[in-house]
Structure 1
Amino acid sequence: MYDDEPTALGAVLTDDRGSLPFLLVHGEALAAAAAWSLGEAGVTIVDASVSWDGVREAGADGEPFVLHDSLCPLTPPDFIAACLDRARETGAVVVGVRPVTDTLKVVADGLVGATVDRDAMTLVCSPVVLPAPVVAGLAEAPSSDLTELVSALAVDHEVVRVEAPPSAGRVSGPDDVRLLEALDQR
């Protein structure tokens, strides 16, 4: 656990993800693995019983808020802690991202067109760290769709994208779980 910084609050996101958060990785549910990583990073996990007003109040008291996608279950705790530190140091929203590896094409009028430069693209994964002033200023709980959330926050806040390690990749099915297990030899 990383005890040299003040606490942060956080949540493991499971809503709107179907049954995927309950697939097993290394013998435990993805959501449980994600919660372990968040806790090991020194984040106090809040659940649905804590109102957004309570979280905002903590933000007003200087506590950042960390959103961790249960579909990124093996995000290393040290990466989460580093993102949290960076948000505290810069005051920016910090988001873990992975490079795009698929070929992307433009489709117009039903026709496949030019290839998009994937070097300019990233995939949002975990975590998304909201600095305390951002938390205090959000009237409603942030979206559980992290891509949507990051896009919305970028309108009014500085957003820093940090490349996450491969083990922080997002799961879209059982094959991805097996790949993550191979990358993470716990």
Structure 2
Amino acid sequence: MTHTFFDPADEGPPALGMVLDEGRGSLPYALIHGEALVACAAWALGEAGVTAIDAGIQWDAVRGAGEPLVLHDSLCPMTPADFIAACLRRALDEDAVVVAVHPVTDTVKLVADGLVGDTVDREGLVTVASPVVLPASVVAAMVDKPGTDLVELVAELARSHHVVLVEAPAAARRVSSPDDLPVLEGLTSG
């Protein structure tokens, strides 16, 4: 997996974006570098040239806009704007759902009948990060608003649409608890 970056200052294509915070408890409002995670995620969308919309907007209005949709998880708050912009460009170029991922580095074991078995080869395993970019054609085909569980959404979309996995930079690391904040803060200190 490779990164293809472009300068978000270049006039990019119009796109809508949502910062997902629903179902994530209070963690999106924890602070990193003195700012709420959700605010950092929203700023990254803006810096990528994406127009942020409220998650409560009517789905028919989003579909009717005829624009791609960038879903950005507030728990991946430091995802670089240039990476978001590159994912958007790739979604448009390939008319594909583009999903930021990280390779799995943990050991994964099979369990059968309550017994721990063989180790699973991690080579093809990934975890979904952020963003997930839906090209306009996919947005138009979706009768219902996408859910906020990106793993579930990607699995559903993969059944009927072309999905491209793009390795996310380390700064796009997911925060799963307050204990992760110092690590991400260290990765993104300037």
TM-score, normalising length from structure 2? Answer: 0.94
Q: Aligned equivalents of 1:4 and 1:49: distance in 2? A: 28
Matches within 5 A, 1:115-134: 115-134=119-138
SS, match of residue 123 in structure 1:
strand
The equivalent of 2:21 in structure 1 is: 14
Structure 1 residue 25 corresponds to structure 2 residue 32: yes
Alignment match of 1:139 (pick from 138, 143, 149): 143
Runs of 4+ in structure 1 displaced over 4 angstroms? none
- In structure 2, distance between residues paired with 1:48 and 1:73: 17
1:161 aligns with 2:165: yes
Query: What amino acid sits opposite 2:140 in the alignment?
Result: A
* Counterpart secondary structure, 1:156: coil
Aligned to 1:92: 96
DSSP-derived class of the 2:100 partner: strand
Instruction: Tell me what 1:177 maps to.
Output: 181
SS of structure 1 residue aligned to 2:159: helix
Which of residues 79, 86, 92 is equivalent to 2:83?
79
Aligned length: 183
Distance 2:127 2:56 in 1: 30
The letter of the residue matching 2:110 is: V
Per-residue deviation at 1:58?
1.0
- Cα deviation, residue 3, structure 1: 4.2
Within 2, Cα distance between the matches of 1:17 and 1:179? 19
Q: Is the 8 A contact 2:20 2:55 kept in 1?
A: no
Alpha-carbon distance in structure 1 between the residues aligned to 2:121 and 2:27: 30
Q: Could you give the per-residue CA deviations for residues 97-155 of structure 1, whole angstroms, max 9, x where no partner exists? A: 01111110111111111101111100001000000000011000001100000000000
Partner Cα distance (1:85, 1:2) in 2: 13
Candidates 57, 64, 72, aligned match of 2:64: 57
Cα distance in 2 between the residues matched to 1:91 and 1:74 = 26
Matches of 1:93 and 1:105 in 2, distance apart?
30
SS of match in other structure, 1:67: strand
Contact kept, 8 Å, 1:40 with 1:77, in 2: the verdict is yes
| 2:4 counterpart residue number | none
Return 5+ residue gaps in structure 2 as ranges. 1-7
**Of 106, 112, 123, the match for 2:110:** 106
Identity of aligned residues (%): 63
Question: 2:19–2:55: 8 Å Cα contact kept in structure 1?
Answer: no
CA deviation profile, 1:53-94 (whole Å, cap 9, x unmatched):
1000012xxx10000000000000000000000001000000
Give 3-state SS (helix, strand or coil) of 1:178's partner: helix
How many Å separate the matches in 1 of 2:29 and 2:117?
A: 38
What is the root-mean-square deviation in Å for CA atoms of aligned residues? Answer: 1.0
